[in-house]
Each structure stands twice: as C-alpha cells, then as structure tokens.
C-alpha cells in the first residue's frame, strides 16, 4: 500500500509515535521505549492504532547472546585447564599428579578433566605416574581462549566454531533476547494529509453518564484487532504450584503432612534409619556437613540407646545388627537433610496407628550443579502404618501413585535396595519418549528401624521423585529451570 | 550404587541363551541391576547395580548367578571343591591394632584373556572402593603364584624397605611410595594412620605388596600368561575380609579355575585359632514361614517356600511345621534378619506377578497448619500482584552479605561445599529478591516479586528452620507506599496489629526504612533499598521491599523448628 485511501483518525499520542518512528525509519521497541519515555503498556496501546492502520509494521527479532557460566568466567580469567596443564608441562617437561596439582592450584576433578581431555587428543602421556607432553602444542585451544576473553569483556564475538564444545563443557550458555523492530510502511510526510487527530471520545466518563451527554456523543469504536498492553498478574511459581497440587492429592488420599528441620542431626538422617556409621552415604562426598556448629544435641529419649543397640547387636529384633561400636558423637553431627526419610524417622518417635503421612521436603547433596543435578531438590516421602498392612498392600499404594500422581497406567516394579527397608521396591513408569523413568521407591521399614521406637506393626516407607515428574510433565530438560529466576518464564510459563 | 562395564556378548555367553537388550534388562532387575547404557558398536554395556550390600553382584558372573536361579537353569548354593595347598601366611602380632586380618586362596588352571583380566580388575576395584570403604575396611591383592614361596609373611616392616611398585621401574622406599606413587597419594593416608608399614613378603624375600596401597611390579603383575594366582584380602574386619575372598573364589570358579586353600597362621593377639581360607561354612538362619506369609500378604506352603529360596540360590529344609532352616551362600553376608529372607521370597515370586492388594483402612489426611498458614500469605501476595519466585536455600554468601552492603552475618556454612556458589544457608530472603531483580533488568517494569520460604538461623548453639515472607517491588515509580500498602493489607487481612519504627540498616536508605514490630517484638524490615546496593547489583530503578518472619504473626500457625 503506498497511499492511504481513507482518512484516519488517531489519538495525538499515536501521531507522536508515528512521527518519531517515521523520522528514524526503523527503531527497536526497546529504543523507542527509551526515546518516548512511555511505559510498555501505553506504547503497545498507541502502536496498535498505527499497526492496524498499516502505517507501521512490526517484526520480532530473537538475538542469541552467549554468556559465560561461572566455570567459563574462571576459564576466561585463569585460562582453560588444558592450556594451563600444557603450559605447566612445557616448563617442567614431566610432572607427577601431585606436582601438577600444586602448580595448577585447582581442584582434582577439574585437573583430571583437563588431563582426560589432553589424553583423548593424544597430546599427553602418563608413564609410571609421570605426565608429559607428546607434542609441543602450546597453541591448543588458543582461539577458544580468545573467545572466552572477549566474552568476559562483554564484547561481541563470533563463537560458531567453538559453540558446541563451549556449551558441552558448560563454559557458556545461550541467552535469548527478544525484541521487535518497528518500521513505517508509509512515511508520515506522505500520509500526513489523510491523518486527523481524534478528539478523545474514547472514554465514557461518569459525568457523561450522569448528565446524559452520552446520548448525543459517538463513542469511538475500540480497536479489537490490536494487541492489548502486556499485563502480568500475580501468580504462583509453576513448580511451587505443582508441589501444592501433589500435596493436595496426597491429603485427599488420607495422608497427613509432616515436616522437619533443614539442618538435621545425623541421628535422624541416618542412625534412626539403621544406616551404619561407616555407610558410604554418610561420607563427605555424599552429605553436606555443617561447619558451625558442627554438633547438635541428641534427643533425651530412650530410643537413642535402643537405636544404638539395633546397630550394635540388632536390639530385640532377632537381627545380627551391624556389629560395631556405635558412636554418639558421629550421630550428633549436624548435616543438611540428605533424604526426606529423616522426616519420617522423626515421626516414628510419635507414630499413630493406623496412619498415613507425607512430607515434601528440600534435600541437599554435594553434587556439582548441571543439567541433571542440583545441590538441592525436593523429595516427596511418607509412611503408612497398620497392623494389617502387607508387602502386596505396599505395591497397591505405589499403583495408586502411578495412576493418580504420575497419571499413567504404564508402570512396573523392580527389586531395589535401601538400607532401611526390606523388601525394597522401585516404581518405574514407561514414558513413550523418554523410556523407563524411576518414579518412586518404597519398602517396609526393617525391624531394626521401628523397634527402637517401640513399634510392633509393619510400617511402609515410600518416596516419589517429584522433581523428575514435573520435568517430564512440563517438558523441561534442564533441572536448573525448576529454580529459574528468568522473569519471562516466571511471568509467562503455561499453567497446563 | 555401583556401575560396571562389560560386554553384551559376554553376558549372553554366560547366560547361555540369546536375549535382546530389553529382555536382559528385565532379567537384570532380579539382580537389582539395570542397563544404564549400551554402545552397540563397541558391544559395551554399562550396568548399574543398586545394592551397596551385595558385592557378589558387582561382576557379570554374579548377576548371571542370580538370573540363572530365576530362569530355573540352576538352583541352590553353587558348589565347588577346594583342594589343599602347602601355602601358609604368617601374620605379625604388631598388626593386631591396625590391619590384623587376611584371607587367601590360590586359583589354578586359569586361562585369562586381556579382557577377562580387565573385568577381574574392575571387580576388585569396585569391591575395594565401596564395600571395602576405599580400601580402609578391606582390599584385594592378586599375584603371580609362580614367583612366590611359602611361608608368606604378613608383617610390619621398616620404612627403609624398598621395592618396585606397579607401573614403575625403579625401587622406591615406603615413604616415597606414599608420597609419589599415584596409588600412594590416593590410599597412603590409611597407612599413615597406622604409624607403621604393613608388608606382604614371600619366603624368598620378594615383596608382594604394601597393603592396601600397591602391589609390586613383578610378583604383583597379572598378565595373560599368569596361570596360577594367589588371591589375598587384608583388612580391619574379619567377616568382610573373608566374604570378599569368598566372592572372588566364586567368580574364579566360574572362570573355570580350581581353588586351593591357604593356611593363615595368626598370633594369639589377633585370633585364638588359625584359619584355612577360603572359609566356606554356610551360615544358617531359621525363619517362620507364617510370619513371612503375613508380612508379604501371600500363602506359601513349605515346599513352595523352599522352591522359591532355592531359586534365589539358598538351600533350605523344613523344621517342624512352619519353620525353614535356610543356608546362606558363603559369598553373602547381607542376611541379618528373617525380613531379608522374606524379600528373597518376594523377588522369586516376581514383584510384577505377586498381585497388588488395596489397603482400605480410612485415615484422615490434611496439610499441616503451618503449610495452610504459608498458603494464606502466598495467596495474599499473589492477589497483590506478586510473581512468586523459588530460590535455593543453599546459596552464595555474597548474595547474602556484600551484595546487600552487609558484612558480619552469622550464617550456617558447610565443611564440604562443592562450590562457593552453594555454600551457606540463607538466613533471610530479601537479598535473593535483589539477586532475582538484578538478573532481570532487561524485562518490563514494574517488577513485583515475592518468596515465602524456609530460612535457617543460628541461635546460640542451636540451629533453627523457620518460614519468612519477602516481597519486592521495582520500577521507575517504585516508592515506599508500594510495599507499605501491601504489608498493611496483608497484616490487616491476617487481623494483626503492627508498628513500623525507623531503622538504620546498611541495605536500606536511612529515613526511608523501618523495622516491623508485632507484639513488641521486632520481626521484619521494610523500606527502600539503598542506591549503592542498586548500583552494585546493576539495577537502575528504585526497589522497595519488606520481609517478615511468619512465626511472629500470632494469627498464623508457623513455628520455629529447632534441630534437636
């Protein structure tokens, strides 16, 4: 369209906007916002007149920006680990692991990753514990290092060549920036004669209603095609909302909620659950230990002594126990709750029979944060206690969870292992796209767990992987998104 | 969980039947294992084994042993003959307080390939690492028998003793091995803790190894040409050392080897009697089938019970009407109680065929009053336009301190953080809101966000968990009113009276911020964030926030939870 055929009436603000865009020929929405000092909502409103009259057209742009991760920043500042290793070996010819670690001053895991990287490329050999270069390749990943440096400075840089590797090595992530570009289809100078300023008769005022002037006034038609101003109502975080729904379902099934503290005694996290004090899950690599204070106080109740006996000789259960000297000091150590079962353990101390309990609790494990691991996650856990309950009932409860919480009838059971239950079972669901997914675990608490709390009835313990379930349901592949702080997602994620 | 690599062809060969990957995965479930990965081009399977108490399953032969039972190819405890050898190990009494136990066996007529040696090494490594508690509780050594003369000495030796450790060419003395050898660096701390050096020596003076650190480079090197092996396990736990040897002997038998015993001569400080290892006496447990039937919800007869247990590689017979005497294979030490036998029966019945039952007892369910209370607050804040955020409880100390102009804060921190970014527990929420705002400066304003979540505080020597609520408003027009009206509305809806008194706080602008007081107790903060904090966080619009500790609102049911 080169000319306007009909006259167009526009509000004065829209005309101003039109003039501005026309004077610049092309401008991005963001820049325009700054120029006009109008908020986004109003601007959208006035723009809609220009767009619907085909005076201005709008195209959306998506700009990919590469941003350094923490590891990426470090590599940009200190240098890529493989380069540091090469430099160290060039200077010293050959080094053993500990010498290299001293020079690099980085953690072992990172160093090993670098060594592995160089070995794979055939640049490095290890003979009798000594590392040396096979080739004088100081130039390794020089270009990549430059790219990182440029990114650190905030400069634009072409990373296509390294993109895949940088993302794979978790040095860089892709941030998408959306904007739109506005362009005039007809310059203001050409359409000027056809445009009139509309009087503000868009608004029906209280006075008009009262004095009856509405009867003789023609109210301007609303523009029904235009996009409304953006509006972001208050809302719950999508994952929190999902957890609320799971809680409501469990409550509706007759489960009573329970809770426990985040900083937990090893006693409740492990000992009360019959996990021997030298169990690998209690090591530094598997549980976060609190530095201040290091120790808490064990409960005053008698069950502490009986838990000790259960570990040492099985107490009155007929079990052999773990046969070692149990240490109250180890049990009093403070850790970050590593499994939701600790909350169940606390409930055993005051258990009602019959009863069903659940808890959704934040748990913590010393994992390096990546696409599939978080340092903290949520576990749904619970117990069911009754004189009449059996292992087959336990399978029935898991079936209910599969049908009503995972909402699938494609599920099956597998034998599993937990130190505190026997028999133990895994609940897996078959996802058409992702294959078998472990959705839950359960078992009957061992007598060594329940007897110290003077419980004589079978107690079923169960847990559900709700983080994973949410991800499957919402098509999320990066677990870090559960805690996403992207306003765009928080405001606009679909509720489905 | 333990993860091993093996070959698909090898698994099928051991099993004796052709199975697809899916069928194999289904069968592995009976050995508490599953296929994690299959690389077809390399014929490589990665199998995860979920039991930390069944080291006998951590090799292909072990898993197949279980599956053969399930498939009824074999039943009961695998039997093999142990011949007597003339070999002896003499144990030094000085080891009594450090690493006193040893168990040995000899395997002959082995015909190992490079691949099977790797598999054997993998099995040893997995057992040492997990079941052996990184070699502290037990560690395995294997040697070329032809280079060893009896009696072997297991003794304490002077640090000046030298030998050539595996993968090296020169002799090293013992402290040098601990400081410089790769394995010395990894496991040397165990020996350092002993205060002396344990050594295994052949009668001809050659060194076998420095347990639990490293073998010698000659006697302790296993190759395809090695036809006769000495297998040795040392450790701090008698039962562990012996069961580990039993597991290895069982595997060796399945490799086609003959097993010979070794006499262990103990000094009286360690054990009253000598051993002839492997110790293959079968442990027994008597179980009541009625109890097991009730526990599982099934009705098995004694004959059926026996058949199921034989399927699981146990031997058993009836005693009286309902008792079963169960013999446990010598490669297992995980049976502590009759419930462990109950599980074996359940597995033999197949979890997917046993049939589910519905427990129909009615119980009253519900949310805790504190959850209901938190939900009230969340609903009010959503109603006031807040976008809820969810942030990490374990967070970055910078976010909680320097980023909000604060220095001295008593935070719960960790002995073993993986990274600084996740190294302290949050004691308040508003700094996390600031952090969220700082990451979203490219998004449309105003931004209205909140979080209702748990925080952790130190109170004297005690630690407590409680729930706080924090709300933040950012935008060109943001003013104190934006948070004041919301706080006021919230507390008014919750029927709670409050006061605000001026406060001086480094994160806030003086004269434009105050503390929230309920029933004479300070329980929150409200105000305008100091421009220097905004500058630091690169937020270029004013920000106002409030944070309130929910346990102080008397009409809510939120409590402080102490860790004890």
Question: Which pLDDT tens digit goes with each residue over B339-363?
Answer: 999 999 999 999 999 999 998 888 9
Domain identity same for A343 and A481? yes
Angle at alpha carbon of residue B36, lines to B30 and B37, rounded to 5°: 130
Tell me the CA distances in angstroms from B445 to A58, A129, A491, B387, one per residue in order: 22, 59, 12, 13
Whether the pLDDT of residue B385 is over 80: the answer is yes
Whether the pLDDT of residue A314 is over 90: the answer is yes
Contact B564 A299 (CB under 8 A): yes
Alpha carbon of A287: minimum distance to chain B alpha carbons (Å): 9
Residue A126: other Cβ atoms inside 10 A: 15
> Rounded mean pLDDT of B236-246?
97
Six-digit token string for A486? 């992207």
Tally of domains in chain A? 3
Alpha carbon of A87: minimum distance to chain B alpha carbons (Å): 22
Domain identity same for A487 and A415? yes
Which of B52, B435, B443 is opposite residue A487, by nearest beta carbon? Answer: B443
Give the pLDDT confidence score for residue A205 in this predicted structure: 83
Domain identity same for A164 and A191? no
> Rounded mean pLDDT of B402-427?
91
Whether the pLDDT of residue A237 is over 50: the answer is yes
Interface of A with B in 340-399 (CB under 8 A): 354-356, 362, 364, 366-369, 375-376, 384, 386, 388-393, 395-399
Domain identity same for A161 and A201? no
* A448 part of contact set with chain B, CB < 8 Å: yes
Which chain A residue's Cα is nearest to B471? A234
Mean pLDDT across chain B, nearest whole number?
95
Angle at alpha carbon of residue B402, lines to B396 and B403, rounded to 5°: 75
Give the pLDDT confidence score for residue B503 in this predicted structure: 94
Please give the Cα distance from A306 to B537 (Å, whole number).
53
The label of the residue with tokens 């107490």 reads A315
Six-digit token string for B62? 């072990």
Q: For helices B302-311 and B289-296, give the axis angle rounded to 10 degrees.
A: 80
Whether the pLDDT of residue A1 is over 60: the answer is no
Tell me the CA distances in angstroms from B499 to B40, B211, B298, B507, one per residue in order: 70, 70, 65, 20
Domain identity same for A366 and A254? yes
Domain identity same for A473 and A356? yes
Output the domain CATH number for residue A167. Answer: 1.10.10.10
Contact A251 B415 (CB under 8 A): no
Six-digit token string for A187? 């310059």
Which of A232, A414, A458 is opposite residue B387, by nearest beta carbon? Answer: A232
Q: What is the DSSP letter of A171?
A: S
Identify the band that residue A110 occupies on the pLDDT scale cut at 50, 70 and 90. confident
A270 lies in some domain: no
Contact A376 B419 (CB under 8 A): no
Identify the band that residue A139 occupies on the pLDDT scale cut at 50, 70 and 90. confident
Q: Please list every residue in chain B whose beta carbon sits closer than 8 Å to the beta carbon of residue A314.
A: 336-337
Contact A320 B465 (CB under 8 A): no
Whether the pLDDT of residue A2 is over 50: the answer is no
In chain A, the percentage of residues whose pLDDT exceeds 90 is 43
Rounded to the nearest angstrom, the gap between the alpha carbon of residue B531 and the centroid of all alpha carbons in its chain is: 47
Q: Where are the alpha helices (DSSP H) in B219-283?
A: 238-254
The SS3 of residue B14 is helix
Domain identity same for A42 and A100? no
Whether the pLDDT of residue A93 is over 80: the answer is no
A278 lies in some domain: no
Which of B168, B375, B418 is opposite residue A367, by nearest beta carbon? Answer: B418
Give the pLDDT confidence score for residue B460 in this predicted structure: 83
Contact A319 B337 (CB under 8 A): yes
A393 lies in some domain: yes
Residue A457: other Cβ atoms inside 10 A: 14
Output the domain CATH number for residue A244. Answer: 3.30.930.10
Parent domain of A475: 240-262+339-492
Domain identity same for A101 and A196? no
Q: Please list every residue in chain A whose beta carbon sits closer than 8 Å to the beta carbon of residue B29.
A: 414-415
Between A496 and A292, residue with greater pLDDT: A292
Q: Which residues contact B263 (CB under 8 A, 6 or more apart)?
A: B87, B88, B89, B274, B275, B276
Interface of A with B in 107-146 (CB under 8 A): 128-129
Domains of chain B: 2-70 (3.30.56.10), 82-277 (3.50.40.10), 283-349 (3.30.56.10), 369-562 (3.30.930.10)
Contact B365 A253 (CB under 8 A): yes
The SS3 of residue B346 is helix
Q: For helices A142-153 and A70-78, give the axis angle rounded to 10 degrees.
A: 110
Please give the Cα distance from B439 to A489 (Å, whole number).
13
Mutate to test the interface with B, among A178, A259, A263, A486 (most CBs of B within 10 A): A263
> Rounded mean pLDDT of B224-246?
95
**In this predicted model, what pLDDT tens digit does every residue of B38-67 receive, in sequence order?**
999 999 999 999 998 999 999 999 999 999
Give the pLDDT confidence score for residue B285 in this predicted structure: 96
> Rounded mean pLDDT of B106-128?
92
* A296 part of contact set with chain B, CB < 8 Å: yes
Give the pLDDT confidence score for residue A395 in this predicted structure: 97
Residue A215: other Cβ atoms inside 10 A: 7
Which of B54, B130, B444 is opposite residue A280, by nearest beta carbon? Answer: B130
> Rounded mean pLDDT of A345-368?
94
Alpha carbon of A4: minimum distance to chain B alpha carbons (Å): 34
> Rounded mean pLDDT of A446-469?
95
Give the pLDDT confidence score for residue B104 in this predicted structure: 97
> Rounded mean pLDDT of B354-378?
95
Q: Are B518 and B556 in contact (CB under 8 A)?
A: no
Q: Please list every residue in chain A whose beta carbon sits closer than 8 Å to the beta carbon of residue B296.
A: 390-392, 423
Which of B181, B343, B386 is opposite residue A129, by nearest beta carbon? Answer: B181
A43 lies in some domain: yes
Q: Please list every residue in chain B whose beta carbon sits closer than 8 Å to the beta carbon of residue A290.
A: 412-415, 463
Domain identity same for A101 and A30? no
The SS3 of residue B376 is helix
* A418 part of contact set with chain B, CB < 8 Å: no
Mean pLDDT across chain A, nearest whole number?
88
Give the pLDDT confidence score for residue B91 in this predicted structure: 97
> Rounded mean pLDDT of B531-539?
95
Whether the pLDDT of residue B279 is over 90: the answer is yes
Q: Please list every residue in chain B whose beta carbon sits closer than 8 Å to the beta carbon of residue A233.
A: 385
A253 lies in some domain: yes
Domain identity same for A166 and A145? yes
Give the pLDDT confidence score for residue A200 in this predicted structure: 58
Q: Are A279 and A382 in contact (CB under 8 A)?
A: no
The SS3 of residue B241 is helix
Contact B167 A128 (CB under 8 A): yes
Which chain B residue's Cα is nearest to A262? B465
* A262 part of contact set with chain B, CB < 8 Å: yes
The SS3 of residue A162 is coil
A388 lies in some domain: yes
* A106 part of contact set with chain B, CB < 8 Å: no
Alpha carbon of B150: minimum distance to chain A alpha carbons (Å): 30
A311 lies in some domain: no
Which chain A residue's Cα is nearest to B286? A318
Contact B388 A289 (CB under 8 A): no
pTM: 0.79
Give the pLDDT confidence score for residue A71 in this predicted structure: 84
Between A425 and A226, residue with greater pLDDT: A425
First to last CA, chain B: 31
> Rounded mean pLDDT of B510-519?
96
* A98 part of contact set with chain B, CB < 8 Å: yes
Contact pairs from chain A to chain B, CB under 8 Å: 293
Whether the pLDDT of residue A223 is over 90: the answer is no
Alpha carbon of B367: minimum distance to chain A alpha carbons (Å): 5
A12 lies in some domain: yes
**In this predicted model, what pLDDT tens digit does every residue of B469-501 receive, in sequence order?**
999 999 999 999 999 999 999 999 999 999 999
Give the pLDDT confidence score for residue A67 in this predicted structure: 84
Domain identity same for A39 and A165? no
Which of B359, B371, B381 is opposite residue A397, by nearest beta carbon? Answer: B359
Domain identity same for A97 and A128? yes
């Amino acid at each position: 369209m080169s000319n306007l055929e009909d006259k167009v009436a526009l509000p004065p603000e829209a005309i101003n906007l039109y003039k501005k865009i026309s004077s610049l020929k092309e401008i991005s929405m963001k820049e325009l916002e700054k120029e006009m000092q109008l908020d986004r909502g109003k601007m959208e409103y006035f723009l809609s007149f220009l767009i619907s009259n085909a005076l201005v057209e709008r195209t959306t742009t998506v700009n990919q920006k590469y941003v350094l991760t923490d590891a990426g920043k470090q590599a940009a500042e200190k240098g890529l680990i493989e380069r540091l290793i090469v430099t160290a070996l060039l200077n010293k010819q050959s080094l053993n692991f500990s010498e290299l670690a001293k020079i690099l001053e980085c953690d072992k895991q990172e160093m090993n990753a670098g060594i592995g990287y160089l070995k794979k490329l055939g640049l490095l050999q290890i003979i009798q514990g000594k590392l040396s270069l096979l080739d004088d390749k100081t130039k390794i990943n020089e270009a990549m290092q430059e790219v990182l440096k440029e990114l650190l400075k905030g400069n634009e840089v072409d990373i296509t060549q390294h993109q895949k590797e940088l993302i794979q090595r978790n040095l860089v992530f892709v941030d998408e920036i959306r904007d739109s570009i506005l362009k005039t289809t007809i310059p203001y100078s050409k359409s000027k004669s056809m445009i009139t300023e509309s009087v503000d008769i868009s608004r029906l005022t209280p006075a008009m209603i009262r004095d009856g002037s509405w009867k003789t006034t023609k109210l301007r038609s609303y523009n029904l095609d235009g996009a409304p101003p953006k509006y972001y109502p208050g809302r719950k975080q999508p994952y929190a909302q999902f957890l609320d729904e799971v809680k409501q379902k469990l409550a509706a099934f007759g489960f009573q909620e329970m809770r426990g503290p985040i900083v937990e005694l090893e006693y409740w996290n492990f000992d009360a659950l019959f996990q021997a004090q030298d169990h690998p899950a209690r090591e530094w690599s598997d549980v976060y230990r609190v530095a201040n204070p290091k120790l808490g106080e064990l409960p005053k109740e008698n069950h502490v002594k009986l838990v000790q006996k259960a570990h040492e000789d099985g107490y009155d259960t007929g079990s052999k126990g773990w046969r070692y000297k149990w240490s109250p000091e180890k049990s009093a150590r403070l850790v970050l709750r590593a499994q939701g079962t600790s909350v169940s353990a606390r409930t055993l101390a005051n258990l009602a029979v019959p009863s069903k309990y659940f808890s959704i609790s934040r748990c913590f494990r010393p994992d390096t944060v990546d696409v599939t691991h978080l340092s903290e996650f949520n576990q749904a856990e619970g117990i069911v206690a009754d004189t009449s309950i059996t292992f087959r009932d336990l399978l029935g409860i898991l079936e209910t969870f599969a049908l009503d919480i995972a909402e699938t009838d494609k599920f099956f059971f597998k034998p599993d292992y937990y130190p505190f239950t026997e028999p133990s079972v895994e609940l897996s669901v078959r996802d058409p796209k992702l294959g078998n997914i472990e959705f839950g675990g359960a078992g009957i608490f061992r007598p060594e767990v329940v007897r110290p709390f003077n419980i004589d009835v079978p107690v079923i313990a169960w847990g559900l992987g709700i983080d994973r379930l949410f991800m499957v349901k919402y098509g999320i592949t990066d677990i870090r998104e559960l805690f996403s702080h992207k306003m765009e997602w928080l405001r606009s994620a679909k509720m489905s | 969980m333990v993860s091993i690599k093996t070959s698909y062809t090898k698994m099928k060969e051991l099993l004796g039947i052709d199975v697809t990957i899916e069928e194999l995965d289904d069968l592995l479930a009976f050995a508490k294992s599953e296929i994690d990965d299959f690389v077809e081009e390399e014929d490589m399977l990665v199998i995860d084994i979920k039991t930390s108490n069944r080291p006998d399953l951590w090799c292909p032969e072990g898993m197949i042993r279980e599956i053969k039972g399930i498939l009824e190819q074999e039943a009961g405890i695998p039997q093999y003959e142990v011949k007597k050898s003339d070999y002896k190990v003499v144990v030094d009494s000085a080891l009594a307080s450090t690493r006193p136990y040893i168990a040995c066996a000899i395997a002959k007529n082995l015909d190992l390939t490079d691949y099977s040696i790797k598999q054997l090494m993998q099995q040893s490594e997995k057992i040492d690492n997990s079941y052996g508690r990184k070699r502290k509780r037990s560690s395995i050594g294997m040697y070329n028998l032809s280079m060893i003369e009896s009696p072997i000495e297991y003794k304490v030796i002077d640090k000046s003793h030298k030998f050539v450790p595996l993968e090296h060419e020169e002799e090293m003395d013992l402290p040098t091995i601990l400081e410089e050898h790769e394995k010395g660096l990894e496991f040397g701390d165990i020996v350092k803790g002993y205060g002396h050096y344990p050594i295994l020596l052949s009668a001809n003076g050659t060194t076998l190894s420095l347990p639990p650190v490293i073998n010698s480079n000659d006697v302790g090197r296993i190759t395809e040409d090695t036809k006769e092996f000495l297998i040795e396990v040392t450790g701090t736990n008698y039962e562990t050392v012996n069961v580990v040897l039993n597991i290895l002997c069982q595997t060796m038998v399945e490799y086609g080897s003959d097993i010979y015993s070794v006499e262990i001569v103990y000094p009286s400080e360690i054990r009253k009697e000598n051993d002839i290892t492997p110790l293959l006496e079968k442990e027994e447990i008597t179980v009541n089938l009625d109890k097991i039937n009730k526990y599982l919800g099934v009705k098995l007869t004694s004959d059926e019970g026996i058949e199921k247990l034989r399927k699981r590689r146990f031997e058993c017979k009836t005693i009286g009407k309902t008792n079963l005497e169960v013999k446990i294979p010598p490669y297992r030490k995980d049976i502590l109680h009759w419930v462990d036998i109950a599980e074996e029966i359940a597995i033999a019945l197949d979890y997917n065929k046993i049939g589910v039952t519905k427990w129909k007892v009615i119980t009253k369910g519900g949310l805790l009053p504190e959850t209901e209370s938190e939900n009230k607050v969340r609903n009010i804040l959503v109603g006031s336009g807040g976008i809820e955020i969810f942030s990490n409880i374990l967070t970055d100390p910078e976010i909680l301190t320097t980023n909000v102009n604060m220095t001295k804060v008593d935070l719960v921190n960790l002995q073993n953080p993986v990274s600084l970014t996740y190294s302290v527990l949050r004691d308040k929420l508003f700094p996390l809101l600031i952090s969220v705002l700082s990451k979203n400066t490219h998004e449309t304003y105003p931004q209205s966000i909140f979080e209702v979540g748990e925080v952790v505080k130190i109170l004297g020597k005690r630690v407590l968990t409680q729930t706080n609520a924090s709300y933040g408003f950012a935008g060109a027009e943001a003013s104190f009113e934006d948070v004041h009206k919301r706080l006021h509305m919230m507390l008014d809806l919750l029927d709670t009276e409050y006061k605000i008194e001026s406060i001086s706080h480094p994160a806030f602008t003086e004269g434009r911020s105050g503390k929230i007081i309920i029933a004479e107790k300070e329980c929150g903060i409200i105000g305008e964030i100091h421009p220097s904090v905004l500058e630091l966080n690169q937020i270029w619009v004013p920000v106002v926030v409030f944070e309130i500790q929910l346990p102080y609102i008397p009409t809510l049911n939120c409590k402080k939870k102490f860790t004890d």
